[in-house]
Amino acid sequence: MIKRTLFFTNPAYLSTKNNQLVVNYPDDDKPTKTVPIEDIGMLVLENQQITVTNGLISKLVKNKAAIINCDSFHLPISLLQPLIGHSEQTERIKHQLNASIPLKKNLWQQTISAKIYNQAQFLEEKNIPNRKMYKWATEVKSGDIENHESRAAVYYWQHILGIENFTRAQKEVAPNNLLNYGYAILRAITARALVSSGMLPSVGIFHHNKYNAFCLADDIMEPYRIYVDVLVDTIVASEENYEELTTQLKMSLLQLPTMDVVIDGNKSPLMVAMSRTTNSLYECFAGISRKILYPVYSFK
């Protein structure tokens, strides 16, 4: 089932009744709205004047919905996660924590190879020379010790958006603002799926910054970044003004969870595919499998 993403930009009072999310607005002219809680996959709370009842939060968390809170600049700053995301969570976390270094290096090799391949596919779709990208995708070694990810990123960002001298960085000029927002949403989707699969988003296979609570999410989202890039590229190509991250642009980026991706030869909404990826990751930790299922970007 495809879960819905709800995006609140205006003041509102959010509560629950009969397993429904109930939305009341300060403006009496706006009618009360309801949404079945079981249909919600992500809730983005942007306005600072939104009130949420604890009863609603409890039901959303039990339903494994990702609740994203934004700061006064309307940018995502937090993700509410359940303490228990899977009935076998203790056992699954044990497998995750006991994963060997060679296994982690192999998983990172698979991750970066999939990421670079997807970037090469997107370059091919745009008729941009990409032979070296395909080559790099096949040459990634265990742990990516030769840093093919960085090499590919330099080439990719120099060409993909058609913007002269574009630099991909958190605080650089637009459309970095769009990419930052899209990746924040993707990170939340990934963390939600990891928790649902019974793992800790904070214990990574490659990322290990002690100040980062989402190291594993940052690892696993890498091959999925391409879908944010596609959305941003579409916005840039439309010649719409993207210097300011407007509500309309955010809504365009919030299409991400329902985008169709190809995984294991079949089309699937991105949010569903991410759950397949995180479950396959657990199987690798448990010794059931040696391969992570990642999506393959397809444009044909």
**Amino acid (one-letter) located at 222:** E
Question: Which tokens sit at 177?
Answer: 């603002």
Q: Residue 293 domain-assigned?
A: no
**Residues contributing to the annotated binding site:** 149, 207, 222
Residues 151 and 251 in one domain: yes
Domain boundary residue among 80, 98, 116? 80
Instruction: Let me know if residue 272 belongs to a domain.
Output: yes
How many H helices and E strands in the chain? Answer: 10, 10
Question: Over the stretch 13-44, which tens digit does the pLDDT of each residue have?
Answer: 999 999 999 999 998 788 999 999 999 989 99
Q: Residue 276: CB partners within 8 Å, gap ≥ 6?
A: 263, 264, 268, 293
Give me the CATH number covering residue 178.
Answer: 1.20.120.920
User: Which range of residues forms the domain containing residue 45?
Assistant: 4-80
pLDDT > 70? residue 1? no
Is residue 113 located within the same domain as residue 68? no
Q: Judge contact between 130 and 120, C-beta under 8 A.
A: yes
Asked if residue 290 is part of any domain, the answer here is: no
Q: Which of 10, 8, 70, 72 is nearest to 40 (CA)?
A: 8
Going from the C-alpha of 245 to that of each of 102, 182, 253, 256, the distances in angstroms are 42, 11, 10, 16
Cα separation, 196 vs 86, whole angstroms: 6
- Residue 300: inside a domain: no
Q: Are residues 171 and 63 part of one domain? A: no
The number of domains in the chain is: 2
pLDDT tens by residue, 79-127? 887 777 788 899 999 999 999 999 999 999 999 999 999 999 999 999 9
Residues 189 and 254 in one domain: yes
Final residue before a domain boundary, out of 53, 80, 107:
80
Amino acid occupying residue 42: M
* Binding residue ranges for Mn(2+): 149, 207, 222
Residue 295 counted as domain residue: no
The confidence score (pLDDT) of residue 284 equals 98
